[in-house]
Structure 1
Amino acid sequence: MVGVGFRREMREWSFQDIQADFFEIVPENWLQRDRAILHQLLASNRPIYMHGVSLNLGGHSVINKEFLNQIKALKQELNAPFYSDHLAASGDAHQLYDLFPIPFTLAEAERISHRIQEVQDILGFPIAIENSTWYTNIGEMSETDFINEILKRSGCQLLLDINNIAVNEKNHHLISVPEFIRQIDLEKVSYMHVAGHEYDERFDMYIDTHSQPVEVTTREVAKQVAQQQKIPILLEWDNDVPSIDVINQELVWLQPSMTM
């Protein structure tokens, strides 16, 4: 299965013409809005996954029960099979509209696991956490050990973002994408993200922009995992969203049965 993140630029498209097996939404964008268009997506007989941006798992603020109850109600309304958020901090006193890394330490793994367990207790179902892009970080553990420890302690699932691994590899040269995947328990992966990124000369770093086609190497790794593990792939294209023809071509290239 291959899906696409549903963005506002797609509202005027014919949903039947989008060559996706499922859609993904940012639930925060729909909690206070008319959701008729989401039910139109569901009427095309394709599920909607929910991927959030403000759970702030890496932060220290009190878990917002009212917000989670809204998320739970939306998930029930859409019959969404998954709800996920980022393994990152997004602001305590205020939503910072960015994702900040968590130090890779055992103490932080334990703290974050407790926060995830609290979230899951309120929701009544397991969530998935996404491995994040990070531009600087500290810690005593490798990223994969850190993630595996949280998965074990919390009982949550993993939203495996292949593009984020590729960006981190290019910027930090610590671990390759194939090796990262070998060190992760793929039985715990709910689905995968792929996207494009750009090099920014100002910072001499690759930036996770979600504004370009998926790199061939990222695409092929995702397709291989999808074929072997039967794990869905989700295309993210959040900025400079192209035409439906470009999106559909990306989706065709991501089909596990396709070859280059």
Structure 2
Amino acid sequence: MIGLGFRREMLDWDMSAVQADFFEVAPENWVRRDLDPLHALIASGRPVHLHGVALNLGGAAALDQSFLRDLRQLITDLGAPLYSDHLAASGDSYQLYDLFAVPFTVLHAHRIADRIRAVQDALGMRIAIENTTWYTNIGAMPEADFLGLVLERADCHLLLDLNNLSVNHKNHGGLSPSEFVQRLGMERISYMHVAGHEFDDRFDLFLDTHSQPVEAHTQQLARTLAERHGTPVLLEWDNDIPGMDVINQELACLRTSTTM
């Protein structure tokens, strides 16, 4: 199963020509809005997953109960099989529309897991969390151990972002993406994200821009994991979105059988 992040730039595309088996949208862009484009995708036999950016799981502010009610209604309206958000902070006193790393400590793992449980109780379903890119962080725990502790305590799924693993490895060293997956295991993974990134000379860092084709080694790892475990893969492309032909080419590359 190969998916695509559906963006508003694609609203005028002939989506029947897009070679994706399922789609993903940000619920923040669709709450209390016309859902006809999404219902058209669903009617074509391709489900729509919800992947949020505003839940602020890593923050300290109280969870937004009004948003959770709207989210539960959207999940119902779309029959969405999965909702996910990021293992990050996105603003406490106001929405920052960016994602910030949380310290890799046992205390924060327990705190965030409790917030995830509260969200799952409010929605009446198990959710998934996504591992994020981070450019600076504190805390003595390795990221894989921190993530594993959150997953176990919260009893939730993982949306495994392979591009984020690659960016973090390039910027900070540590486990390679394949080593990270081996250490964490695949038991809780609902599906995987792939995307492209860029190097920024201003910061001397690789940035998670979602504006480039997926790197060959990330494609290869995604294909291998999909073949071994039957785990779906979804392509994200959020900035400088190319035409449908390029998107279909990227989707086709994820379907190609290969071995590592």
Could you tell me the TM-score, scaled by structure 2's length?
0.98
The alignment of Structure 1 onto Structure 2 pairs a total of residues equal to 260
| Distance across 2 between alignment mates of 1:40 and 1:221 | 32
| Distance across 2 between alignment mates of 1:177 and 1:129 | 17
Residue identity opposite 2:125 in structure 1: F
Specify the alignment match of 1:85 in structure 2: 85
Specify the alignment match of 1:218 in structure 2: 218
* Residue segments in structure 1 that go unaligned for 5+ positions in a row: none
Greater mean alpha carbon deviation, residues 154-163 or residues 27-36: 27-36
Specify the alignment match of 1:185 in structure 2: 185
The answer as to whether partners of 1:226 and 1:256 remain within 8 angstroms in 2 is no
Specify the alignment match of 1:203 in structure 2: 203
Residue identity opposite 1:156 in structure 2: C
Matches within 5 A, 1:164-179: 164-179=164-179
Q: What displacement does 1:155 show?
A: 0.3
Residue identity opposite 1:127 in structure 2: I
Specify the alignment match of 1:128 in structure 2: 128
**Cα displacement string for residues 161-218 of structure 1 (whole angstroms, at most 9, x for unaligned residues):** 0000000000001111111010112010000000000000000000000000000000
Specify the alignment match of 2:156 in structure 1: 156
| Distance across 1 between alignment mates of 2:218 and 2:14 | 28
The answer as to whether partners of 1:252 and 1:258 remain within 8 angstroms in 2 is no
| Distance across 2 between alignment mates of 1:64 and 1:32 | 16
| Distance across 1 between alignment mates of 2:173 and 2:257 | 31
Q: 1:35 aligned to 2:23?
A: no
Q: What displacement does 1:259 show?
A: 7.6
Matches within 5 A, 1:67-106: 67-106=67-106
Residue identity opposite 2:159 in structure 1: L
- Pairwise CA RMSD: 1.1
Specify the alignment match of 2:60 in structure 1: 60
**Secondary structure, aligned partner of 2:190:** strand
| Distance across 1 between alignment mates of 2:256 and 2:144 | 25
| Distance across 1 between alignment mates of 2:258 and 2:242 | 22
| Distance across 2 between alignment mates of 1:79 and 1:183 | 33
User: Taking structure 1 as reference, are residues 43 and 56 closer, same or farther at Cα in structure 2, changes over 3 Å only?
Assistant: same
Matches within 5 A, 1:13-32: 13-32=13-32
Greater mean alpha carbon deviation, residues 83-92 or residues 177-186: 177-186
* Residue segments in structure 2 that go unaligned for 5+ positions in a row: none
| Distance across 2 between alignment mates of 1:44 and 1:182 | 36
Specify the alignment match of 1:7 in structure 2: 7
| Distance across 2 between alignment mates of 1:45 and 1:114 | 35
The answer as to whether partners of 1:15 and 1:44 remain within 8 angstroms in 2 is no
